[in-house]
Structure 1
């Protein structure tokens, strides 16, 4: 077994994670559905990598994500923190015999479930043993559910179709601060020092780690736009102390709203120092860090086929989750057996393999850029060699575009793409298309690891309506789009989409690192810096800040020769 333990820390990280686990749940369901396409039944994916098998006290078999999620108290909406599978009753206060005084009970009303969650309850009522069987649909139509979610999502649990283990969901207690004020590394550091449940978090993590046979790594989703970055750093530091040999692949995710209101000088200093400290700390405790999140998805190249509302976390998180799902497929690909057709899938790797490919021998070069094409173009017709790479959109901000880095290394995942004959593309067809694409682009990376699968990205019912009318039912790009209306297409219209995703380590990420180094020096460490007092209030001394600056400077220095070499080559 090559298990992965996943951690989700912060609001937007959990929005992304909710979609991520919905994709996994959809794959599990399609694999067992006799009416599903055969491509979903021959996935060659070992879902035990991400999931654990268990059993309730009533003897019911369970299959839940190997996950620890951390968020604000009250962030779970209508879901209770212990989940629904192991639903133990809370103890009755009147049963306590050591207290002889009076008792008063304060109980808040549980939030009402939306019709999507109600439909899941109705479905479970049909299939669980001992339950009265009724209409599994509950009378709800798919479009009713889609419309309900489109304008009604407030919590990441509003669209989650997954059952969670009682040790998975942790709500931070004792934080007397509004979510909008929890916006910097310093306030998160205060929360860590006063967190009453710090040992509880360690206990939950230890529960999932110690039952693993042979862990391949930690997969970390962190909302690094505010105080949760500090909480994540604290967890990562404990992971480094307790499980130092297990690699950590960290995705720092941000929603478009986190880039707002940085025009004023004071706010720019505040935000710049947070970004510098957050990146420095998170990168120092992870083996590979991948910043994910653009100031606007609706203005990116992805908007050619997607209709995204930047103000909706439900929309933005779905796109990023699709990319993270796809890039993680090789971690759970099985090795081809004698009964499997090796033409259908290839390129299984582990977390440590990807870390080694992208970071090489240098401990400093640990930042990668995520690019994705959603939906990916087919390999049909003339000009496909250009579309194959041109449709890729970086979802890492502050990176150089069109930089020619001959020392770049990449890991690429292609799945569900249609081949030249109109059938699912084979491994060799994808390899030929990629070689042709790089020949036409004129820029070949130093090394590219390719993973290929025929299984596309499944689109579960709670997925948002973000596809344009140029996208067909199986994610094909239509030459004659359906009549464009005021609304976009959702899961009832689009069942699956092909994907191309890429992690790239190159000098293109140099501006991202240099900007954070510049923030730290200009606002924090130089003589008369306007943010020096702020950093002291966050608990950072001069020695710590100098160490951060040295680390960021080393990361930049590692990439500068490559950037200068690329510049001279292009001249």
Structure 2
């Protein structure tokens, strides 16, 4: 077994993770339901790569994500930090024998479960006593439409829409760092969080629990909300991981929700945001083999949302799109038959974790920044699918042609007409033809394909336009209704996602390099004092500048990178 451990750090990262694990849970449920579409019975994906088998103290078998989630204290909503399976309650401290005074206990009021979580709890209670919850007709049943409206209007925590059971080691709340903390919006605010109060040791020990029980860990996928202080927490954690697990590759997704891009009227605040972006990227990148920036300023108005109706003000909406793309990208290293040339009736082009990373970061230019593109849902394979792929990475050049680019493309659940699914070999032929006809093509492209589409679980938000059909097909005569569709209308969708190593990422890199120099390094820089308050001296700033310069230089070797800090 070649396992993968997942880490989620920060608020938006955990929103993405909640949707991601919901997809996995839905796949597990559909695979065990013989009344469902046969395509889900044998998806060709080994769930053991991401999941672990266990047993409670009562002898109940468990199957939980191999996950470490890190977030604010109080960020779990109504869920216990011990998860929902083991029902552990924190022990109260024993009274001190020498204390003769009165004793008082302070407890924060627990939050009530929302309608979705209540329905899950009732279903599990009925199953535990041998009743068929799907056909239960008790008067206290909660309707699916009512649940969806509740989630659309009342989702506050990432746990509000999570349908997954977690291991007690998975959910780590940073002690003393509360969810309503102010000023945790920059790299400096989180600079000492990891090292203080044994937090780093606790996080490392929880990760070690998952890694050491693996037969042969193939890599760590990490999703980080890098818009503020959590990027600093993640950088310290990743450095620790790099020291302890030297030969384990790390694939890092740095995620942003649209709210983090909001421009401020305060010049000082905008400078702080620009410096945070530069410092965060420069500090995180050395500790991973491949880094993928994810998150558009206006996802709802982007080309990536052509068939979607995304509300940018709702992390519940935006995170669902990014999670769908991350699910697709995770399929190659989870396919049953590993090997780039291995095929089966349901999968093609499997790759292990290290091969994906090396393919995109190990080329002669040693570029380790990848661009994420997707189309959701994917059009039929005969409709120029490649041209429909749109970026989810910000600050990318749309018109930059790169003859040395490298791509890995994942397509699953593809349709060839209406509701008729394409085989993996038909997908392969269609993509080969598309590259042959393209005016420009990458230096190298690897295709992974699977017949199993992306299932849409009940708590998925209502973000599909009327053009999307029940199986994700694009309707030629959609309803004129302006209402969005959700999981009650769309059962599954075909997906396509691509990672590419390309010079199109240059604007992203140069913007961070220029901002670091302009506001932090050059003589009299307006952000100099701010960076000093974050704990950075001149030498460390110049080292960060050199890190960014090297990244730019690998893609544009003749760029003018002369520093004007003197």
TM-score range, shorter chain: over 0.9
- Does residue 530 of structure 1 match 2:504? no
After superposition, the Cα gap between the structure-2 partners of 1:363 and 1:130, relative to the gap in structure 1 and judged at 3 Å, is farther
**Which aligned pairs between 1:137-286 and structure 2 lie closer than 5 A?**
139-175=141-177, 178-262=180-264, 264-286=266-288
The verdict on how the C-alpha distance between 1:563 and 1:145 changes in structure 2, with shifts beyond 3 A counting, is farther
Offset, 1:302: 2.6
Cα offset, 1:370, TM superposition: 0.2
Q: Which stretch of the first structure deviates more once superposed, 31-40 or 176-185?
A: 176-185
Instruction: Tell me what 1:50 maps to.
Output: 50
Matches within 5 A, 1:168-567: 168-175=170-177, 178-262=180-264, 264-335=266-337, 342-361=344-363, 364-380=366-382, 384-385=383-384, 388-419=385-416, 423-485=420-482, 487-561=483-557
Change in 2 beyond 3 A, CA 1:444/1:365: same
Tell me, yes or no, if structure 1 residue 31 matches structure 2 residue 31: yes
Displacement of 1:77: 0.4
How many angstroms apart in 1 are the aligned matches of 2:182 and 2:463? 27
Give SS of 2:193's match.
helix
Aligned-residue offset at 1:351? 1.5
Residues 86 and 421 of structure 1: CA distance in aligned 2, closer, same or farther (over 3 Å): closer
Task: Provide the C-alpha distance between the structure 2 equivalents of 1:31 and 1:283, rounded to a whole number of angstroms.
Answer: 38
Q: TM-score, normalised by structure 2?
A: 0.94
Q: Provide the secondary structure at the position in 2 that maps to 1:331.
A: helix
Q: Which residue of 2 aligns with 1:567?
A: none
Moved more, 246-255 or 303-312: 303-312
- Which ranges in structure 1 are unaligned for 5 or more consecutive residues? 565-571
State the distance in 1 between where 2:122 and 2:464 align.
28
| Alignment match, 1:109 | 109
Q: Determine the C-alpha separation between the residues in 2 that align with 1:252 and 1:326.
A: 17
- Once the two structures are superposed, what CA deviation does each residue of 1:281-313 show, in whole Å capped at 9, x if it has no partner? 111111100000000011111332100100000
Change (3 A) 1:517 1:345: same
**C-alpha displacement of 1:135:** 3.5
Residue 176 and residue 71 in structure 1: after superposition, are their counterparts in 2 closer, same or farther (change >3 A)? closer
CA contact (8 A) 2:304 2:391 kept: no
Whole-Å separation in 2 of the counterparts to 1:263 and 1:447: 45
SS in 2 for 1:62: strand
Q: What's the counterpart of residue 564 of structure 2?
A: none
Checking the alignment, whether the CA contact within 8 Å between 1:173 and 1:196 is kept in structure 2 is no
Determine the C-alpha separation between the residues in 2 that align with 1:152 and 1:478.
31
Q: After TM superposition, give the deviation of residue 364 of structure 1 in Å.
A: 4.6
Answer with 224-233 or 362-371: which moved more.
362-371
Report if the CA contact (8 A) 1:405-1:563 is conserved. Answer: no
Q: Structure 1's 292 and 179: CA in aligned 2 closer, same or farther, altered over 3 A?
A: farther
2:119 corresponds in structure 1 to 119
Which deviates more, 44-53 or 90-99?
90-99
Asked if 1:71 corresponds to 2:71, the answer is: yes
Name stretches of at least 5 consecutive residues in structure 2 with no aligned partner: 561-566
CA distance in 1, matches of 2:484, 2:180: 34
Q: 1:118 to 1:372 in 2, by over 3 A?
A: same
- Cα distance change, pair 562–434 in 1 and its aligned pair in 2 (3 A): farther
In structure 2, relative to structure 1, the CA distance for the partners of 1:363 and 1:71 (3 Å cut) is farther
Change (3 A) 1:430 1:98: farther
* Cα distance in 2, alignment partners of residues 542 and 177 from structure 1: 33
Count residues with an aligned counterpart.
556
Task: Please tell me whether the aligned partners of residues 74 and 178 of structure 2 are also in contact (alpha carbons under 8 angstroms).
Answer: no
Kindly provide the CA deviation profile for residues 142-162 of structure 1, in whole angstroms up to 9, marking residues without a partner as x. 111111100110000000000
Note the C-alpha offset of 1:423.
3.0
- Between the aligned partners of 1:117 and 1:497, the Cα distance in structure 2 is 25
| Change in 2 beyond 3 A, CA 1:81/1:209 | same
1:341 CA drift (Å): 7.3
- Between the aligned partners of 1:180 and 1:319, the Cα distance in structure 2 is 28
Equivalent residue number for residue 563 of structure 2:
none
Is 1:19–1:318's contact at 8 Å kept on the other side of the alignment? Answer: yes
C-alpha displacement of 1:528:
1.0
Q: Aligned-pair distance for 1:12?
A: 0.2
